[in-house]
A and B are shown apart, each in its own frame.
Chain A
Amino acid sequence: QKEVEQNSGPLSVPEGAIASLNCTYSDRGSQSFFWYRQYSGKSPELIMFIYSNGDKEDGRFTAQLNKASQYVSLLIRDSQPSDSATYLCAVKSGDDKIIFGKGTRLHILP
């Protein structure tokens, strides 16, 4: 059973600080990794994807991938109250299936 694990939270971070969200996956053949943001009662929307080891930056967001450790993370710099949401990690496994984690609830404290 291929799995994607996330800490469910809530993760509370002061406004202006760095929020760090983590995700581990079980399938070593996984190819692509995605971070989606989901506001309460809304549908998920893509923040970033990454498929090479290392860091990928987009504005205040940085995705980090370590395939050897089967670990992907999302850093949010200068956290804003509007960043309060559930963050879903998704992994495209070696057999082309996309598996979602249960999500981490992030709460930015004003």
Chain B
Amino acid sequence: NAGVTQTPKFRILKIGQSMTLQCTQDMNHNYMYWYRQDPGMGLKLIYYSVGAGITDKGEVPNGYNVSRSTTEDFPLRLELAAPSQTSVYFCASSWVRPPTDTQYFGPGTRLTVL
């Protein structure tokens, strides 16, 4: 199993450009998440999905969009990139089995907006 994979690993965008961060998991997890992590800070939840076709906003959704057409894929779309979106983006997945929700993280995408 590859686990959670993310592409690209690094990207530099100009202000106003758009891009899609890809995330795929092969563990048949029902939940998937997108986080951003700024230097010296914890993880902030952007969007999450509880299953194919269902998505919901997290703590910091502005400037982002997501879709979940399959169990495996959960792409994150950045529209009109801004310097404030410079961050490391982590995708994660979990098989929710209350009360535990162990999340498995991808390697991250380091995004710089200039």
Contact = CB atoms under 8 A, between A and B. Distances in A.
Interface of A: 4, 8, 31-32, 34, 42-46, 49, 51, 88, 92, 97-98, 100-103
B69 interface: no
B53 interface: no
Interface of B: 35, 40-45, 58, 90, 98-108
Contact of B100 (A44, A49, A100): A49
Contacts of A101: 42
Contacts of A102: 40-42
Majority-rule SS of B interface residues: loop
Given A32-B99, A51-B99, A92-B99, A45 B42 contact: no
A97 to B, nearest CB: 7
Given A43-B107, A43-B108, A44-B90, A98 B45 contact: yes
B49 to A, nearest CB: 14
29 contacts: A4-B42, A31-B98, A31-B99, A32-B98, A32-B99, A32-B100, A34-B102, A34-B103, A42-B107, A42-B108, A43-B90, A43-B105, A44-B43, A44-B90, A44-B103, A45-B105, A46-B102, A46-B103, A49-B100, A51-B100, A88-B43, A92-B99, A97-B45, A100-B35, A100-B43, A100-B44, A102-B40, A102-B41, A103-B42
A45 B108 CA distance: 12
A74 to B, nearest CB: 15
A46 B101 CA distance: 10
Contacts of A4: 42
Contacts of A32: 98-101
Contacts of B103: 34, 44, 46, 98
A51 B97 CA distance: 13
Given A43-B105, A46-B102, A102-B42, 6 more contacts: A43-B108, A44-B105, A51-B99, A98-B45, A98-B103, A101-B42
A46 B41 CA distance: 18
A102 B58 CA distance: 17
A100 B35 CA distance: 10
